[in-house]
Amino acid sequence: MHHSKYRILNRLSPVQMLLLFYFIAVLLSTFTLALPFTHQDGVEIAFVDLLFTSVSAISVTGLSTISIVDSLSTLGVIVLAMIMQLGAVGIMSIGTLIWLVLGKRIGLKERSLIMTDQNQSSFQGMVRLIKQIIYVLLVIEFIGFLILGTYFLRYFPTASEAYLHGFFGTISAISNAGFDITGQSLIPYDHDYFVQFIYMLLIILGAIGFPVWIEVKEYVFFKKGRRNFFRFSLFTKLTTFTFFTLIGVGALGIFLLDINHFFVGKSWHESLFYALFQSVTTRSGGLSTMDVSLLSESNHLFLSFLMFIGASPSSAGGGIRTTTFALALIFIITYIRGGRSVRIFNREIYEGDMSKAVTVTLVAFIFVFSSILLMSIVEPFSLDQILFEVTSAFGTVGLSLGITGELSTFSKIILMLLMFIGRVGIITFLLMFTKKKKKEKYSYPKERVIIG
């Protein structure tokens, strides 16, 4: 058995493992992107921008203080794609590990492959599971690369250019990184609905979360004729429902908030695709088919709200996560209704999960607000622009109203921290500071307090 191989890793706590991975990956990425052959001739990039690009790529955010297409060589572009891939898979894998090690198995326990052999260590089961996921990811990426690359032949003079765009675009979309090598995101394809459809599909696959992939795969391979007996977990139902509701409500909201502004004179299909694509991309994709600064200020606020929520847990995205948002809402609604037990899809929700969701939301508010406050001290930009940049970093989305390149080093550091926190998730981030629970020696009398 390969037991010895994992001995050192086993000594680390999953959270330490994640930190170590992040640290090494960013270091490696910064170093590689500093090598001259990854640059175009004569291009020099400041250290803080190399670091920013690396953090942005590892946390698959896609915010960039430099223009990728003007700075990186073809080799640099391929390296950047690898870094995005590493970031997406690495953090998702270790994130899934943390989730399993901490015993939050979400009903997968009985069904997932990890547990089919009761004798294997959960760590080895994890490794097998992650290998499977990576295998599926690579297959999807290869299909995406073939479709997009071939289709792009009509856009580019040479096949190598077309397939480079197909390769980079596929990885950027499914890893939800959102970097582009067109120099203007997907604006060149703003009337090519086929390209947009493929991109949306890839972004959704990357943002919907590994656990959903696993369950859908299990459903597909479930014995035919007995599929009625297959039950999707509460988690999968809740996260998927919230995910697609957010996309629908998001698209409608984006359209309505600019109905007298950006969407004036657009045909129904133009409006549909502009609104839909921009809604999908706030789940954490970050690619866009338009200059979002053309939207109205109220839409910037709305997009900030959508980016703050971000993607589903154990996905390639960031933010507070779809489930957190849903549970926080359910918590409030139940409270208003005067009910005690919180239930949805005919299941009761654990109070501990509710508390967690609410904690995550409040802590995220604190981080986002503090970041905006700090940045507003040093930046000349409007609150609108800063709010957008901050929620984009926290949701690891990567949309921007165009100020990223002009920010001070101080603000760049804040955004790097937000991308890190948004990507690993508030819960994992807080675990870094959580002490093990000690048994309380004393018990104090309880006393009530007016809330207001």
Q: Report the sign of the C-alpha dihedral through residues 198, 175, 152, 196, in that order.
A: positive
Our CB check for a second copy shows the closer of 283 and 356 to be: 356
Q: Among 17, 50, 79, 387, which residue interacts with a second copy (rule: CB under 8 A)?
A: 387
CB 316 within 8 Å of CB 284: yes
Report the alpha-carbon distance of residue 218 to residue 21 in Å, rounded.
30
Contacts (CB under 8 A) with a second copy, residues 306-335 = 312-314, 319-324, 327-328, 331-332, 335
Contacts (CB under 8 A) with a second copy, residues 411-450 = 425-427, 430, 433-437, 440, 443-450
Please report the DSSP string for 95-115 in residue order: HHHHHHHTT--TT-TTTSGGG
Q: Quick one: what does residue 62 bind among a second copy, K ion, none, with the CB cut-off 5 to 8 Å set by partner type?
A: K ion
Q: Does 87 bind K ion (CB under 5 A)?
A: no
For residue 194, what are its two tokens? 């086929």
Q: Does 84 bind a second copy (CB under 8 A)?
A: no
From residue 249 to residue 288, the character string flagging contacts with a second copy as x (rule: CB under 8 A) and all else as - is --------x-------------------------------
Which H or E element spans position 73?
A: none
Report the alpha-carbon distance of residue 383 to residue 376 in Å, rounded.
7
Q: Does 372 bind a second copy (CB under 8 A)?
A: yes
Rg over alpha carbons for the chain, rounded to the nearest Å, is: 22
Report the alpha-carbon distance of residue 365 to residue 308 in Å, rounded.
9
Binding window for K ion (CB under 5 A); candidates: 153-161, 270-278, 283-291, 438-446:
283-291
Q: Does 62 bind K ion (CB under 5 A)?
A: yes
Close Cβ partners of 405 (under 8 Å, ≥ 6 residues apart): 64, 65, 66, 67
Amino acid at site 245: T
Binding window for a second copy (CB under 8 A); candidates: 44-52, 190-198, 266-274, 350-358:
350-358
Q: Does 253 bind K ion (CB under 5 A)?
A: no
Q: Quick one: what does residue 64 bind among K ion, a second copy, none, with the CB cut-off 5 to 8 Å set by partner type?
A: none
Our CB check for K ion shows the closer of 17 and 83 to be: 83
Q: Among 187, 301, 413, 417, which residue interacts with a second copy (rule: CB under 8 A)?
A: 301
Instruction: State the CB neighbour count (10 A cutoff) for residue 313.
Output: 24
Q: What residues line the site for K ion (CB under 5 A)?
A: 61-62, 176, 178, 286, 398
